[in-house]
Amino acid sequence: MAIHKLSIDDFITIDYGLVAIHSSLEDSRLAYFINRELGILLEKSPVDIAFSISEGESGFSRFVYEDPDETFWNLVQNKNSVVSTQSTGSLFAPSGINVATSTFLLPELKKVDYILKIENTPDVFALDTVVESLLSIKHIATAYTIDHHKLKSKNNLIF
């Protein structure tokens, strides 16, 4: 009797591109400028991306758009902060101190403010053209493609 083995890697196809965006703009203004420059219609998703850490729950805002070619665009925050209360342990001090902890969707890219994930891209899709268009927005300091093969936390991008 022959033994057939299936590897989980046989079913995983990576058909998305990632663009790192460095910008000090708030997420809704950045989505507006990206919409204007790329001719897409990113809209705020009613559901944020939930993320659990030891200090508490964190949520990353998300803007989505699906174009007629069924290409799915996601603009996601990479940085967020969680405010937690820690006890001081002192009898005379206030009962707790609020401590803000930064959380990252992709911890290995701590300097990146936003991530643009483009899924179901056609074979002729040019990610470099998207990056060039993003760089023409004066509020974006820099933008570049991310090689998803080098990411350790790529499972955080499953949403």
Look up the CATH number of domain 15-150. 3.30.310
pTM of the model: 0.80
| Domain range summary for the chain, segments of one domain joined by + | 15-150
Strands ordered across the beta sheet of 72-77: 43-44, 62-66, 72-77, 114-119, 16-23, 140-146
Instruction: Walk along the chain (159 residues) in steps of 10 and give the mean pLDDT of each run.
Output: 64 76 94 94 90 73 90 92 64 64 87 93 82 94 91 83
Report how far residue 80's alpha carbon sits from residue 102's, in angstroms, rounded to the nearest whole number: 6
In this predicted model, what pLDDT tens digit does every residue of 130-149 receive, in sequence order?
999 999 999 999 999 998 88
